[in-house]
Amino acid sequence: MDASTTRVRDEERDLLEGARAGDEGAFARLIALYNSELHAHCYRMLGSLHDADDAMQEVMLRAWRSLGRFEGRSSVRSWLYTIGTNTCLNLIARRPKRVLPIDYGPNTDPNDGLGEPIIETIWAEPYPDDQLGVEDGLFAPEARYEQRESVELAFIAALQHLAPNQRAVLILRDVLGFSAKETADALETTVASANSALQRARETIERKLPAQSQQATLRTIGDEKLAQIVEAYMEAMEGGDVDRVVGLLAEDAAWSMPPLATWFRGDDIPGFLANGPLSGAWKWKRMAATANGQPAVAGYIWDDAAQAYLPFALDVITFEGDRIKEVTAFITRVTDSRERSFYEKWPDQQQDADRVRNVFERFGLPPSLPA
């Protein structure tokens, strides 16, 4: 055990003693030691940044209430993950499964238009891994997935296809590196049952995931070339250059825009771009970002009333080789022909609008850009 590990455990022990004595400040600092990784865990389980926020509030409450029953037979970390996992399982039972448009229905005929948005609460959401402290490398030597691999969009989407108990087992074992015994204890089941769930989960995940993770793909591309591709994408989108955008895409690329169920594949993308975002009807500015361990681009659209560029969408970019395989544009503001937000057209979605609109803030992006 190295000196830093010893220091953390000593700090943890002192904070735990203080929390048990009723010191709320000590409890808050104890939770803070694991807050970032627990939040990412809840996101993996739930597929939603906002649901993860809700789960973390519940985790803190449950942990505070159960302090007196924590006997120290496991580590504080394992204890908190047990609370976090079971909190998420309870939320999963009450909320719809999170999906991406590509999993929701078939690709769209460009002649059919964009259609109406589906309620936001069914969609997976992007995750600000850099802002919330997701680190490089593995959680533990026994883990099968890197930390950033385990928040990639493809991985999060694949997890949502698993039964809740299978999802929990796979994350605990293959992402966090928990032992079979620790996993079974956390889920109050047998080791045999946990191992069986893990085997089924691995089979499903392997079918759903691409052959190569985004982390491996990005390392192959290299930082310099990746920056050049992202810059070219931003310039082409700002300039309305459909041909240049298409030249950056893989042959069978996909383009989706949650909360719209609409998405386009391959040869239909140029028509969508030319008649939609790059038609010249809107003025754009773009800013590089990151999300889900992947490159992302924040899109701002000119607003006459505000006399500024306001957030419109966060494009999370997925690569295949050095070509863009998928653009998942998480829209924060959708307008009709009269430049009214669709949330004004469908007021029952206003609560969802408030949640979606703070996405840029959570990613540390400016709330507006000047002319």
Q: What is the CATH number of the domain that holds 91?
A: 1.10.1740.10
Span 347-362, average pLDDT: 62
- Expressed as residue numbers, the domain containing 336 is 222-362
Contact residues for 307 (Cβ-Cβ < 8 A; gap 6+): 371
Weakest mean pLDDT among 5-9, 66-70, 82-86, 299-303: 5-9
Nearest-CA neighbor of 333 among 358, 363, 370?
Answer: 358
Could you write out the DSSP letters of every residue in 218-283?
A: HHHH-HHHHHHHHHHHHHHHHHT-HHHHHHTEEEEEEEE-TTB--EEEGGGHHHHHHHTTTSSSS-
Instruction: Indicate if 189 and 311 belong to the same structural domain.
Output: no
Q: Where are the beta strands (DSSP E) in 258-358?
A: 263-265, 284-291, 294-303, 308-320, 323-331
pLDDT of the residue at 10:
75
Residue 47: left if φ>0, alpha if ψ -120 to 50, beta else—which one?
A: left
pLDDT at 339: 42
Residues 128 and 230 reside in one and the same domain: no
d(CA 233, CA 248): 7
Domain final position from 208, 240, 267: 208
Q: Of residues 70 and 355, which shows the higher confidence score? A: 70
Rounded to whole angstroms, the Cα distance separating 165 from 145 reads 19
Q: Is residue 367 part of a domain?
A: no
Residues 352 and 271 placed together within one structural domain of the fold: yes
One domain for residues 191 and 234: no
For residues 330-358, b (16+ Cβ closer than 10 Å) or e, as one string? Answer: bbbbbbeeeeebbbeeeeebeebbebbbe
Residues 111 and 61 in one domain: yes
Q: What is the model's pLDDT at position 335?
A: 46
Residue 370 belongs to some domain of the structure: no
- From CA 308, how far away is CA 305, in angstroms rounded? 8
Task: Output the domain CATH number for residue 336.
Answer: 3.10.450.50
The 10s digit of each residue's pLDDT in 252-266 is 999 999 989 999 999
Whether 336 shows a pLDDT value over 50: the answer reads no
What DSSP letter does each residue of 91-143 carry, written as one string? HHHHSPPPB-HHHHSPPPPGGG---PBPPGGGB-----HHHHT--SS-SSTT-
pTM surpassing 0.85?
Answer: yes
Domain limit, last residue, from 167, 185, 208: 208
Note whether residue 371 is domain-resident: no
The percentage of the chain sitting over the pLDDT mark of 70, rounded to a whole number, equals 91
Location of structure tokens 């597929």:
47
How many domains, the chain? 2
Establish if 215 belongs to a structural domain.
no
For residue 119, the model assigns a pLDDT of 63
